[in-house]
Structure 1
Amino acid sequence: MRFMLIVKASGYSEARVNHSREQNDAMNAYLKSLAEEGALLAAEELQPSSAGVRISYPADGGKPELSAGPFPADQELVAEYCLIDVRTENEALSWALRMPVPKGRGKCEIELRKLEEKPNSLKEPRIKALEADLQHQLDMLKKI
């Protein structure tokens, strides 16, 4: 099951205040442990909303409206995300609870969301590649 851990933006992330060395080290160790478990699919930080554009489609179906950032912080902006692939919801929650949060920067909020599983998901090409590699290895062993 794939899950996204969504780290909400704060005044610090919107102002591009860098994390402490300790926070960076803790996050790198966390991501490394996810990768070693084979659960990490992606992890990225987003630039502040000042570098973004919002596209709003009116209810009447009119032309979309473009708004340049920055956007109000009270609109629950996203600062970073981590995409994981785990066996159970409890495992996803366990990883979310272990994600390091910056100290001394006020409230930090992480949202855990399950991704819809679709037959042609991103996971499928990876599985096909692994299956092809295993088949190749089996073919080589049969020749011995």
Structure 2
Amino acid sequence: MKFMMIVKATTDSEAGVIPPQELIDAMQKYNEELVKAGVLLAADGLQPTSSGIRISYPEPGEKPKVTDGPFTESKELIAGYTLIEVRSREEAVEWALRMPDPHGYGQGEIELRQVYDVEDFIDNPETLEKEVTLRKQVAEQKKA
């Protein structure tokens, strides 16, 4: 089971404030623990939305709308993520609870969401086979 720990943005992360070294060290130690346990798939911080681009689809069949950041709803914004693969929801919660306060000042908030497996939303065997083949190609490209 894959889970994404979504680190919510704060006013500091949106202002581009770099975390203190102690927090960087704590996050690195946490990521090392995830690696040792064999559950870490990816972990990255995101630049503030001032450098972001939002693409929306206001009407079916019409051209998408492109909006440059920054975006204002900071409670809905994401500052980073950690993607893990674990055996259960409970294990995912345990790992999320071990993450240091992602912003270091008591403002941190993590949202934990399970990632769909391709089989969860594709029931057409032909489409599923194409998707599995595509994912294998992506994995092979990463190895090269």
2:27 paired residue number:
27
> Residues 49 and 69 of structure 1 are in contact (CA less than 8 Å); yes or no, is this contact kept in structure 2?
yes
Aligned to 2:16: 16
Q: 1:10 touches 1:73 (CA, 8 Å); kept in 2?
A: no
> Residue type matched to 1:12 in 2?
D
The correspondence of residues 1-144 of structure 1 with structure 2, limited to 5 A, is 1-74=1-74, 76-101=76-101, 102-104=103-105, 106-118=106-118, 120=132
Displacement of 1:122: 9.3
Query: Structure 1 residues 73 and 110 mapped into 2: Cα distance closer, same or farther (>3 Å)?
Result: same
* Alpha-carbon distance between aligned partners in 2 of 1:121 and 1:2, rounded to the nearest angstrom: 19
Whole-angstrom CA distance in 1 between matches of 2:76 and 2:133: 27
**Could you tell me how far 1:74 is from its partner in structure 2?**
3.6
TM-score by length of 1: 0.79
Cα distance in 1 for partners of 2:30, 2:7 equals 14
Choose 1 or 2 for highest CA Rg: 1
Q: Distance in 2 between matches of 1:96 and 1:121?
A: 32
Aligned to 1:138: none
Cross-structure match for 2:125: none
- Structure 1 stretches of 4+ with a deviation exceeding 2 A read 119-125
User: Are 1:7 and 1:110, in contact at CA under 8 Å, matched by a contact in 2?
Assistant: yes
Cα 1:122–1:112 change in 2 (3 A) is farther
Other structure's SS at 1:72 match = coil
SS in 2 for 1:81: strand
Structure 1 unpaired stretches of 5+ = 129-144
- CA deviations 1:92-111 (Å, max 9, x no partner) are 0000011101332x422100
